[in-house]
Amino acid sequence: MANTTTPTAGASRISPVTVVATLAAIGVAAGGILHYQIWNDRYRGSKLPDGVVPGAWVVKKGFPINFALSIVLAVVLLAFAFAFIPRIGRFALLAAGGLELGSIVFLVLSREASIFGWKETGWDTDAKRVLVVEIVSGVLLAGALLLDMRRAGISDVA
């Protein structure tokens, strides 16, 4: 007699929202970790003294804040992905999307114009890596939100 297993009617199934929101959480965390690594390698401590470079506070304070917010939001997104906090999780999707969009805007502005006097030159590997991670994360966040809205019947998302 062959031993076969079949799913029971009450067995849980991983939903598309779970998969996409989990990937988005990983992306958001990765973006924060990249910001922390860049801050630690380039901008931390005496490597960039206050008052010497205009707008240096943007990266000296902004990168660690980005890291902290990214990690907190990634944890909340994981709780949302596994349906522990469905309503709060939707706000986390929006907040994380805002963080990713803001990071992209600041990254581009820091190279094309300046942010409170801070100006970077060129698109090095770190900048390109951050840009790709945050764009992909933003797309995943939007996808998770749309899938969740469709699942919840909030809108007529196709």
Q: Bigger pLDDT: 72 or 152?
A: 72
Q: Is residue 3 part of a domain?
A: no
pLDDT > 90? residue 33: yes
Q: Does residue 74 belong to any structural domain of this protein? A: yes
What is the reported pLDDT for 4? Answer: 52
Give pLDDT, residue 134: 96
Q: Which DSSP symbol is given to 53?
A: S
C-alpha distances in Å from residue 29, one per residue of 72, 135, 147: 9, 13, 21
Does some domain include residue 157?
A: no
**Which range, of 36-40, 47-51, 65-69, 87-91, averages the lowest pLDDT?**
47-51
Distance between CA atoms of 138 and 100, rounded to whole angstroms?
Answer: 6
The answer to the question of residue 108 being in a domain is yes
Task: Kindly state the average pLDDT of the residues 27-34.
Answer: 97
What residue numbers bound the domain in which 35 lies? 16-152
Share above pLDDT 90 across residues of the chain, in percent, rounded to a whole number: 46
5 within a domain of the structure (yes/no):
no
pLDDT tens digits along 105-153 = 999 998 887 677 777 888 888 989 999 999 999 999 999 999 988 876 7
Residue 10 lies in a domain: no
Structural domain count of the chain: 1
Any domain includes 6? no
Is residue 52 in a domain? yes
